[in-house]
Amino acid sequence: MGEYSIFSVAREALRGHSGWKPTWRDAAPKPDYDIVIIGGGGHGLATAYYLAKEYGNARVAVLEKGWIGGGNVGRNTTIVRSNYLLPGNIPFYELSMKLWEGLEQDINYNAMVSQRGILNLYHSDAQRDAYARRGNAMRLHGVDSELLDQSAVRQMVPFLNFDNARFPIHGGLLQRRGGTVRHDAVAWGYARAADRRGVDIIQNCEVKGFRIEDNRVVGVETSRGFIGAKKVGMAVAGNSSRVAAMAGLKLPIESHVLQAFVSESIKPFIDGVVTFGAGHFYISQSDKGGLVFGGDLDGYNSYAQRGALPVVEDVCEGGMALMPRIGRVRLLRSWGGIMDMSMDGSPFIDRTPIQGLYFNGGWCYGGFKATPASGLCFAHLIARDQTHDVAKAYRLDRFATGHAIDEKGMGPHPNLH
């Protein structure tokens, strides 16, 4: 299986593309591995890749109950950014951003990392000051951020509703390095790169239980039989509580539904990502021309991958309030994804009380942008049994010790984060 490049594409074009090989091997499970990662989503595949590449672990398997990339990595609004407020978060997401910036050359797969910027609008003095605080926190961490006034925003996105708005736009916080990434390609690219380094990617293999002896994990029971493992990592967004329960663990997580939306394809007019500060709405436009947008959680626990109509309306109301030119653009598709919402809106990358069993989850609706750093930090934790420097705050016991990482200040109410 060769390198991908314009030359390989041209060569294949001459012979009807008959020479392409599967992007990753359809591996059958071996009896045992050094490390088993549960979950063939972005985080699981990235973890496997970095285990192989950075930590020299080749006897690694990724177990996926369905098809890889079928969870939240394939159902999100593709935004990447590192415009966080709190010291527990900024270095982690900035590492992720740096990894995004070199990802395609690293994994030889074009995931279309596109840094067209993310602009958070503010509509009051208080919001401006909160964004100044955030922007300054980013700058102190060496992360790019700019505070724009109204005229600068108007110049950037002249088609917003500046003159007849219920909540006038006063300005925005801009991170130019923010942007979007072609989400599915992240899963496929990591899968291919991990596979090339010997990782077994095993689809249609559902984990049914853990085998634990003397408080140490020794393997997993799966729909394709027992698979032994010295270490097991969970990266099963949307199913964290259910999988952890099989090991007897109870997590500070609730699962909620988040809807996302895409419009018909129209000629691009929105360059970067824009978030509305006075309503539940954010938007970008894909390289195919679809408007990709979303809002808040539906707000109740759910494992059903669908939301309610009032939330669809609420999001579209935000859209029309912000950019009334999209009134005649049509919503093409909506879908609901399951978000494992933690009690403070921040994730976990940590050991569990069971030896050899590691947990990665609670990504809320921010997991996509975290994919590379999550994979790297989880790989670091599993390989070395040490927490990566930038992931130190993501402990499972932080609520017991009073060290919540609560960006929004909403307290232990996952539906409000």
Q: Enumerate residues 371-390 that contact another protein by CB under 8 A.
A: none
188-217 residues in contact with another protein (CB under 8 A) are 188-189, 203
Which residue stretch of 4-12, 36-44, 221-229, 370-378 sits at the interface with another protein (rule: CB under 8 A)? 4-12
296 belongs to the binding site for another protein (CB under 8 A): no
326 belongs to the binding site for another protein (CB under 8 A): yes
Class of residue 239 by CB neighbours under 10 A (exposed 0-12, middle 13-18, buried 19+): buried
Are the CB atoms for 264 and 234 separated by under 8 Å?
no
Closest approach of another protein to the CB of residue 184, in Å: 5
Cβ proximity to another protein: between 146 and 221 the closer is: 146
166 belongs to the binding site for another protein (CB under 8 A): yes
144-163 residues in contact with another protein (CB under 8 A) are 145-147, 159, 161
Provide the mask over 89-108, with x wherever binding to another protein is found by CB under 8 A and - wherever it is not.
-xx----------x-xx--x
CA dihedral 60, 61, 67, 73 (to 10 degrees): -40
Could you list the beta-strand ranges (E) of 107-246: 118-122, 146-149, 171-175, 179-180, 200-202, 207-213, 216-222, 225-234
Are the CB atoms for 342 and 394 separated by under 8 Å?
no
Are the CB atoms for 231 and 358 separated by under 8 Å?
yes
Which residue stretch of 29-37, 139-147, 362-370, 372-380 sits at the interface with another protein (rule: CB under 8 A)? 139-147
Cβ proximity to another protein: between 67 and 151 the closer is: 67
Which residues 6+ apart lie within 8 Å of 346 measured at CB? Answer: 86, 88, 89, 362, 364, 393, 394, 404, 405, 406, 407
Closest approach of another protein to the CB of residue 230, in Å: 28
The residue count for binding another protein (CB under 8 A) is 141
Which residue stretch of 16-24, 37-45, 213-221, 362-370 sits at the interface with another protein (rule: CB under 8 A)? 16-24
Residue appearing with tokens 């436009």: 285
Closest approach of another protein to the CB of residue 134, in Å: 8
The number of residues in the chain equals 417
DSSP letter string, 291-317: EEEEEEEEEEE--SS---HHHHHHHHH
Closest approach of another protein to the CB of residue 57, in Å: 23
Instruction: Work out which of 30, 208, 325, 384 binds another protein, going by CB under 8 A.
Output: 325
Cβ proximity to another protein: between 25 and 230 the closer is: 25
DSSP 242: H
Provide the token pair at 92: 């982690």
302-321 residues in contact with another protein (CB under 8 A) are 302-306, 308-310, 312-313, 316-321
336-375 residues in contact with another protein (CB under 8 A) are 343
Closest approach of another protein to the CB of residue 290, in Å: 8
User: Rounded to 5 degrees, what are φ and ψ at 98?
Assistant: -65, -40
Cβ proximity to another protein: between 31 and 164 the closer is: 164
233-292 residues in contact with another protein (CB under 8 A) are 241-242, 245, 250-255, 263-269, 278-279, 286-289
Provide the mask over 26-45, with x wherever binding to another protein is found by CB under 8 A and - wherever it is not.
x-------------------
Cβ proximity to another protein: between 58 and 165 the closer is: 165
**Encoded amino acid at 95, one letter:** L
The closest alpha carbon to 329, from 399, 402, 263, belongs to: 263
Instruction: Work out which of 29, 40, 74, 88 binds another protein, going by CB under 8 A.
Output: 74
Instruction: Work out which of 54, 124, 384, 385 binds another protein, going by CB under 8 A.
Output: 124
Cβ proximity to another protein: between 7 and 225 the closer is: 7
* Per-residue CA distances from 163 to 279, 303, 327 (Å): 17, 41, 17
- Bin 345: left if φ > 0, else alpha if -120 < ψ < 50, else beta: left
**Encoded amino acid at 268, one letter:** P
Cβ proximity to another protein: between 204 and 215 the closer is: 204
